[in-house]
Amino acid sequence: MRGPHNIIRLIRTGATLERTGAMAVIMDAYEAGPLLRAVVRGVVWPFQWLGYAGDPAVPPAPRALTALGPAYIKFGQVLSTRPDVVGDELAVQLRVLQDKLPPFSIEEAKAEVQRELGVPVDQVFSSFSEPVAAASLAQVHKAHLADTGEAVAVKILRPGIERAFRRDIDAFYFAAKVIEVLSPSSRRLRPMEVITHFEGVVMGELDLRLESSAAAEFAANTEKDEGFHVPSIRWHLSGRRVMTLDWVEGISAGDNAAIDAAGLDRRVLAARVLQLFLSHALRDGYFHGDMHQGNLKIGANGDIIAYDFGIMGRIDEYTRRVYAEILFGFIRKDYQRVAEVHFEAGYVPSHKDVDEFARALRAVGEPIFGMDASRISMARLLSYLFEVTERFGMETRTELILLQRTMVVVEGVARSMDPHMNIWQAAQPIVTDYVSKSIGPRALLNDLRKAALVLSRFGPQLPRLAEEALIRLNNPPPPPKPQRRRARLAWMALGGAIIGTAWFVQALV
């Protein structure tokens, strides 16, 4: 599938952006110069007729991405949380992609529920509303259980979404391969592996049984977290394409006016969003991987309510410690230690100069501290970080892709509530607490205890394993003799020649 036919798909992407007016919006957001505008327009303008028209009632950027398909919508959702990167106007346009996409009909929704659960909708639910939210992969209906009258949310996958998403991913793979071929320097970023990772994450989102399981695990991990709530799953009314969970009322995390009207402090909420994410990632190694405003609500008591558990991230304990040490080093402005951690973890090639890398990190970190967050250009910061990583030969860490992406999204959500937020000050108590518990004498004793437990499970087998190792050490297998290998190859070649000759003679006869 990943062949040259995808060239048409990529051309159509550019043509759709041009036809819907999204290309001009993007160029304005990034303050593109006249030369770049002329080059881009010269390439895509002749192919406008290939582009999708989209819905004229929708702003240009979401209009284009919605017309292009679910994978493009997912990309737009991430950018919608970063007004400091794409600009306020474009961020507001893209926010439509979070939960205000065109829904499919209630008749189709009921048919999907009946197919999945095996019973008519009216037999299970006493009421079943029109869609209350529609996202890129699924939509949600409010319903009431027929037996108890309790309110629940019913999430249903869009019909045919699996095929549509695979088509988009196919084009992304082709684009990544083209980038690798045309730009060898980009290979250190592993574009093919990044797309593979993205595919795995979202394909998991297309099985709601996995999402139900993730929600249950996440709820168990966070049940004692103050100011945080995860709705309970109704397992008997959930399946591969349908998921039912408790209905919880709340204000959209992106509706600042409603939050203010409810008398809630947005500065407190912003800090809580960031701190909860860091706590889940560092403490549990399991975090919500899609924490944009469309998946978060604010309860009347100020609790943050999480939804949509299709994308969850998991990182092992060693990676958590490395990540925490890097953050802790930045917070303490200990750039030398941050550099050393990168080298110890193998993130930077060992032949590079650690002191030079520390100086480069200082140039990245210093502008952040003591400065109002609204004055920091995250776009410039990310650009400089890219230059630094390229200079020092750092490769993309696929195990950190989702963590890094979610950190960007969460920071964007927090700053949309509090534009003057200092992310490092908000992160400090969580990171400091984790470092104090995971690095030091107490952590070493805990590691030794875990290692002893692992070894104890192999205790009954240790004598046999030791004996087998000694036997292999004292009686190594004889290496194959070169003449015997050559003889075998000769006989194989002769046999192949005889068979080939016989087949050729038979064909002539």
> How many C-beta atoms lie closer than 10 Å to residue 485's C-beta?
10
Which residues are within 8 A (CB) of 398 and not within 5 positions of it... i.e. 6 or more apart? 190, 193, 194, 197
Tell me, yes or no, whether 117 and 154 share the same domain: yes
Tell me, yes or no, whether 75 and 106 share the same domain: no
Q: Which of 50, 83, 99 corresponds to the end of one domain?
A: 99
Tell me, yes or no, whether 332 and 268 share the same domain: yes
pLDDT tens for each residue of 219-237: 999 999 999 999 999 999 9
Asked if residue 472 belongs to a domain, the reply is no
CB contact at 8 A, 402 and 201? yes
Phi, psi of 2 (to 5 degrees): -85, 65
Asked if residue 1 belongs to a domain, the reply is no
Asked if residue 376 belongs to a domain, the reply is yes
136 DSSP 8-state letter:
S
Task: Give the DSSP H or E segment for 126.
Answer: strand 125-134
496 pLDDT tier (thresholds 50, 70, 90): very low
Asked if residue 498 belongs to a domain, the reply is no
Chain centroid to CA 181: 25
Please give the Cα distance from 383 to 385 (Å, whole number). Answer: 5
> How many C-beta atoms lie closer than 10 Å to residue 336's C-beta?
16
250 pLDDT tier (thresholds 50, 70, 90): very high
pLDDT at 276 over 70: yes
Segment 480-498 mean pLDDT? 48
Phi, psi of 155 (to 5 degrees): -100, 130
509 pLDDT tier (thresholds 50, 70, 90): very low
Please give the Cα distance from 409 to 405 (Å, whole number). Answer: 6
pLDDT tens for each residue of 337-351: 888 888 888 878 888
Tell me, yes or no, whether 121 and 50 share the same domain: no
Please give the Cα distance from 5 to 170 (Å, whole number). Answer: 10
Tell me, yes or no, whether 177 and 191 share the same domain: yes
Q: Domain count of the chain?
A: 3
pLDDT for 505: 37
**What are the C-alpha distances in Å from 413 to residues 28, 255, 307?**
23, 11, 15
User: Is pLDDT larger for residue 502 or for residue 209?
Assistant: 209
pLDDT for 395: 65
Asked if residue 491 belongs to a domain, the reply is no
User: Is pLDDT larger for residue 93 or for residue 430?
Assistant: 430
pLDDT tens for each residue of 58-70: 888 888 888 887 7
Tell me, yes or no, whether 114 and 195 share the same domain: yes
Query: Is the dihedral angle over the CA atoms 485, 491, 496, 501 positive or is it negative?
Result: positive
pLDDT tens for each residue of 80-91: 655 555 666 777
Among 203-207, 325-329, 388-392, 406-410, the range scoring the smallest mean pLDDT is 388-392
Asked if residue 469 belongs to a domain, the reply is no
pLDDT at 306 over 90: yes
**What are the C-alpha distances in Å from 506 to residues 455, 485, 496, 500, 502?**
64, 32, 15, 10, 6
pLDDT at 99 over 80: no
Tell me, yes or no, whether 242 and 266 share the same domain: no
CB contact at 8 A, 212 and 243? yes
pLDDT for 187: 65
Tell me, yes or no, whether 218 and 285 share the same domain: no
Task: Give the DSSP H or E segment for 287.
Answer: strand 286-288
Q: Is 290 a catalytic residue?
A: yes
Q: List the domain range (segments joined by +) for residue 60.
A: 6-99
Asked if residue 482 belongs to a domain, the reply is no
Paired strand residues for 131: 141
227-246 in b/e form (b: 16+ CB < 10 A) is: ebbbbebbeebbbebbbbbe
Tell me, yes or no, whether 330 and 215 share the same domain: no
- Phi-psi sector, 368: left (phi>0), alpha (psi -120 to 50), beta: alpha
Task: Give the DSSP H or E segment for 209.
Answer: helix 208-222
pLDDT tens for each residue of 422-455: 777 788 888 888 888 877 666 667 667 766 766 6
pLDDT for 301: 92
Segment 40-59 mean pLDDT? 78
Q: Catalytic: which of 168, 290, 308, 418?
A: 290
Calculated CA dihedral for residues 261, 267, 273, 278, nearest 10 degrees: -170
pLDDT for 97: 74
- Phi-psi sector, 312: left (phi>0), alpha (psi -120 to 50), beta: beta
User: Is pLDDT larger for residue 277 or for residue 441?
Assistant: 277
SS3 state at 183: coil
Tell me, yes or no, whether 57 and 109 share the same domain: no
Task: Kindly report the average pLDDT of the chain as a whole number.
Answer: 79
Tell me, yes or no, whether 343 and 224 share the same domain: no
Segment 272-282 mean pLDDT? 92
pLDDT tens for each residue of 154-194: 999 998 888 888 878 887 788 777 767 766 665 655 677 76
User: Is pLDDT larger for residue 279 or for residue 497?
Assistant: 279
Q: Which of 198, 214, 247 corresponds to the end of one domain?
A: 247
Percentage above 90 pLDDT, the chain: 27
Q: Which of 190, 224, 247 corresponds to the end of one domain?
A: 247
Asked if residue 507 belongs to a domain, the reply is no
Segment 265-285 mean pLDDT? 93
Distant-in-sequence contacts of 23-30, Cβ < 8 A, 24+ apart: 24/60, 25/60, 25/61, 25/89, 25/90, 25/93, 26/61, 26/90, 28/87, 28/89, 29/86, 29/87, 29/89, 29/90, 30/86, 30/379
Tell me, yes or no, whether 73 and 114 share the same domain: no
